[in-house]
Amino acid sequence: MTEQNPEQLPAVAVAIVVKDGRVLMVRRRVAEGELSWQFPAGEVEPDESPEAAAVRETAEETGLHVAAARLLGERVHPQSGRRMAYTACEVVGGTAMVMDSDELDRVVWASHAELAEYVPFPLFPPVQEYLDGTIAG
């Protein structure tokens, strides 16, 4: 079996879900490097847009139904080396909970002040700017 370069793998779609001045965070059962807490995310499937994948992954992981508002940006993640696409999402229904207990062990709604406790390194600047404008204060 040949090992793939992280950049050759499918892109990862990330959902930035804000509700009532807080952002949705999930804790993975298995950390990815330094990443334990992160935003709902998963691989983009063939013929799927990053926005659609962010919506699907949020529902699969947390049971929360969201709509994609806009793509915030894309990059190669400095920790994992994976191609990432970040989408701002709005809640349209449901309650966030652990739906995939094989993958997640907890979900939280974090305030702006709590973000550094969950993510101990700088966020992707377009995500940070979005959160500063929607949950700061």
Sequence-ordered list of residues with C-beta below 8 angstroms from that of 2, at least 6 positions apart, any chain: none
Structure tokens at 26: 């999930």
- Classify each residue of 48-76 as buried b or exposed e, where b means 16 or more C-beta atoms within 10 Å of its C-beta: bebbebbbbbbbebbbbebebeebbebee
Segment 16-39, tens digit of pLDDT: 999 999 999 999 887 665 568 899
The CATH number of 7-130 is 3.90.79.10
pLDDT at 123 over 60: yes
pTM, full prediction = 0.90
